[in-house]
Amino acid sequence: MNGILPLWKEAGMTSHDCVFKVRKILRTKKVGHTGTLDPDVDGVLPLCIGRATKIAEYVTDAGKSYRADIVIGESTETEDASGELVEKTDVDEAISLSAILNVAESLTGEIEQIPPMYSAVKVNGKRLYEYARAGQVIERPSRKVSIHSIIIDDETLAWDEEKKTFSFSADIVCGKGTYIRTLAVMFGERLGYPAHMSRLTRTSSASFKKEHCLTLEELAQKLTEQSADDLLLPLEMGLSGLKMLVVSDKVASKVKHGAVLPVPSGWTGEEGEPVAVYHNNEALAIYQLHPTKSGLIKPVKVIFTG
């Protein structure tokens, strides 16, 4: 049983809960997820099964897209709706679409983010959420993240006269390591108000979208009608973001044994860049330029050894 199961994670579950349940449903221990989703977040969570666990990091590192609901006028300790209210500033009138679009444009590209205190980022050997739960706020190093696009749904713009808040939804495509709830806070800062993310859905991860996904209930139901292998997508879909090298039968045999090879014709990988090596439409391994020996490539990970 080898492949990728694009799961639609429902709100109220951790990513680890999903892995545990799928292990029981598929009756296999070799299951790994591809990037944690907070319990309140729903959406696309590709799970790697069997040999596909070897390429989980490449799915995790690929781009993702989200649908985020953002509330302007209130901030919370966790930067999302699960946290306690920490600041409230009345929004006395609707914020213009042009102002929001200007902020969206300013946040697109490579930006600096400071990870939230309630996050799994490690500082001095401890997770930030461990400090936060102990009532400590510590200095966090900023880091660069890539925001590829932010599209504002103008039909969702809403001013709540009673609560004195303003809200809208945004579709966001971003690179790895991005905190969407922190992006919501940054929206507020640039509009001059506290803000938080009230809801989040991951709409895609790597090449996997909602239409590829099954819920846990759907997975269990379909297994009464067909085999697990029929429900898994090829692990090669998880490598769609990598450059590709196709090799001959002779070279394929060496690749399966993890051999260091001369740089082949057709190699396009830059220094340190992973390249997926294929034979007969099957991914065999991930290679990169040898870091110390010029003119050679070396395996980063051997996927298929049969």
**CATH no. for residue 210?**
3.30.2350.10
Residue 201 counted as domain residue: no
Say how many Å lie between the first and final Cα of the chain, rounded.
Answer: 14
The model carries a pTM of 0.89
Residues 298 and 225 in one domain: no
Which H or E element spans position 183? helix 180-191
Residues 128 and 169 in one domain: yes
What pLDDT tens digit does each residue of the chain (306 aa) get?
899 999 999 999 999 999 999 999 999 999 988 878 889 999 999 999 999 999 999 998 888 999 999 999 999 999 999 889 999 999 999 999 999 999 999 999 999 998 776 767 777 777 777 877 877 777 778 889 999 999 999 999 999 999 999 999 999 999 988 999 999 999 999 999 999 999 999 999 999 999 999 999 999 999 998 888 899 999 999 998 899 999 999 999 999 999 999 999 889 999 999 999 999 999 999 999 999 999 999 999 999 866
Residues 229 and 270 in one domain: no
Say whether 127 sits in a helix, a strand or coil. strand
Locus of tokens 């709706």: 81
Say whether 7 sits in a helix, a strand or coil. strand
CB 178 within 8 A of CB 145: yes
Residues 45 and 124 in one domain: no
Locus of tokens 């003119």: 295
Residues 178 and 98 in one domain: yes
Residues 213 and 183 in one domain: no
Name the phi and psi angles at 165, rounded to 5. -130, 165
Residue 121: predicted pLDDT:
72
- Domain of 106 in residue numbering reads as 88-187
Residue 17 counted as domain residue: yes
Residue 197 counted as domain residue: no
Residues 281 and 227 in one domain: no
Residue 106 counted as domain residue: yes
70: Cβ contacts below 8 Å, ≥ 6 apart: 167, 168, 169, 170, 184, 187, 188, 195, 196, 197, 198
Q: How far apart are alpha carbons 108 and 51 in whole angstroms?
A: 36
Domains contained in the chain, number:
3
Residue 159 counted as domain residue: yes
| CA quadruple 28, 29, 35, 40: dihedral sign | positive
Q: How far apart are alpha carbons 250 and 202 in whole angstroms?
A: 42
Locus of tokens 């951790």: 14
Residues 247 and 231 in one domain: no
Residues 280 and 264 in one domain: yes
Residue 96 counted as domain residue: yes
Residues 179 and 114 in one domain: yes
Q: How far apart are alpha carbons 167 and 198 in whole angstroms?
A: 9
Residues 167 and 122 in one domain: yes
Residue 306: predicted pLDDT:
63
Active site residues: 38
Residue 67 counted as domain residue: no
Residue 78 counted as domain residue: no
CB 48 within 8 A of CB 238: yes
Residues 35 and 116 in one domain: no
CATH number reported for the structural domain that contains residue 265 in this entry = 2.30.130.10
| CA quadruple 274, 279, 284, 289: dihedral sign | negative
